[in-house]
Amino acid sequence: MSKSVFYNGKIAVPGGFVEGMAIEGQNIVCLGSSEEVCAIRDAEKIDLAKRLALPGFIDGHMHFLAYALSLERADLLGCLSVNEVRSRLRAFLDERRPEPGEWVVGRGWNHELFDDNRILTKEDLDDLTPENPAMLARVCGHIVVLNSRAITLLGLTGESRFAGGVVDLDDGGEPTGVIRESVVEWAGSKLPLPGPEKLRKLVVRAGKETAKVGLTSIHSDDLGSVGGDFQTIIDLYISLCKEDEMPVRITEQLLLRNRPALDHFLSTGWRTGDGMPFFHIGPLKILTDGSMGGRTALLRKEYADAPGVFGVPIYGHDELDDLVLT
């Protein structure tokens, strides 16, 4: 088992600092003075040169698998206008050159950064993606804009209705391309996932990126990235753990949207706390509404800039009570 010794540093520990730390495998085995840790034999010795060393950071809410998938999707974070979104998307298409019919997926636009605060619509995407269905999620993930090809492929019409979700319609009663809440999850479940090996590589790559900013543990809600299939998540992370390739500790938050999904999960025997050192089942998660930015978070009074809009309730009271009391 590999040994590493860090000495001549300022290492944060509960109650203060120490100079040295020794690691064996995945475990810290000694904290103390430089002399104490350097006495350990057969260890790689690393001089911290008085630098500060902190425990790894924990992110209490993240969508780690969505982040892994986003590494090969259009990055729209920080765009300051619809034109910049279009420019970024155009550059992505020029680089990736998707085959006709292949889904074009991106995330990160935020209309509240635009001068006109206008939410994207299908018209903003259609001329850029005439042969491909496109799905671009807002930064919050609670609303998405689709192009016309995606709307047709998904079969959305002015008559489409979803419990806990909304399909925005124009003045003529046709979809604008904007979908909200449960419709986003439903549409996302239609996206083809990368194969198991590709998915593994993306997760490992994402873990290296999070390590760069000091993240070593993540509480992650991943079910939305795999259409709610919790077994895919469990199999993926457990296999990485068994092969010593899990790049970060994951506590999986399980967003089980309805009673059948919850009953199915409970029937497998998995419970909170089960798992391995680098992956375990965390809490069950329930979302009752959406985001402020997407105008889907529930309010007692209507949104100041959206008359008649109070948000989108995902559950009725009886359904919510049933989930909680289970």
Handedness of CA 51, 55, 60, 65 (dihedral sign): positive
In a domain, 24, yes or no: yes
The answer to whether residues 128 and 48 belong to one domain is no
Q: Among 161, 188, 215, give the residue marking a domain's end.
A: 188
The answer to whether residues 51 and 96 belong to one domain is no
Q: What is the mean pLDDT of the chain?
A: 94
The answer to whether residues 132 and 30 belong to one domain is no
Residues 169-213 pLDDT 10s: 999 999 999 999 999 999 999 999 888 899 999 999 999 999 999
Q: How far apart are CA 259 and CA 320, in angstroms?
A: 10
Using CB atoms within 10 Å of the CB of residue 86, give its burial: 0 to 12 exposed, 13 to 18 middle, 19+ buried: middle
Q: Which helix (H) or strand (E) holds 317?
A: helix 317-325
The answer to whether residues 37 and 93 belong to one domain is no
Q: Which residues of the chain are modeled with pLDDT < 50?
A: none
In a domain, 223, yes or no: no
What's residue 67's pLDDT? 94
What is the pTM (predicted TM-score) of this model? Answer: 0.85
CB-CB contact of 183 with 151 (8 Å): no
Q: How far apart are CA 234 and CA 155, in angstroms?
A: 31
Range of the domain at 42: 3-55
- What CATH number is given to the structural domain containing 36? 2.30.40.10
The answer to whether residues 88 and 8 belong to one domain is no
What's residue 225's pLDDT? 83
Q: Copy the structure tokens of residue 47.
A: 């001089």
The answer to whether residues 97 and 184 belong to one domain is yes
In a domain, 206, yes or no: no
List b or e across 173-194, with b for residues whose CB sees 16 or more CB atoms inside 10 angstroms: eebbbbbbbbbbbbbbeeeeee
What's residue 153's pLDDT? 98
In a domain, 236, yes or no: no
What's residue 193's pLDDT? 87
Residue 94: count other Cβ atoms within 10 Å of its Cβ.
Answer: 8
The answer to whether residues 150 and 108 belong to one domain is yes
What's residue 159's pLDDT? 97
Q: Among 149, 164, 188, give the residue marking a domain's end.
A: 188
The residues pairing with 12 across neighbouring beta strands, listed in sequence order, are 17
Q: Which residue in 102, 99, 100, 96 sits closest to 72, CA to CA?
A: 96
Domain count, the chain: 2
| Distances, alpha carbon 131 to alpha carbons 152, 159, 167, in Å | 12, 25, 23
Q: Which amino acid is at 118?
A: R
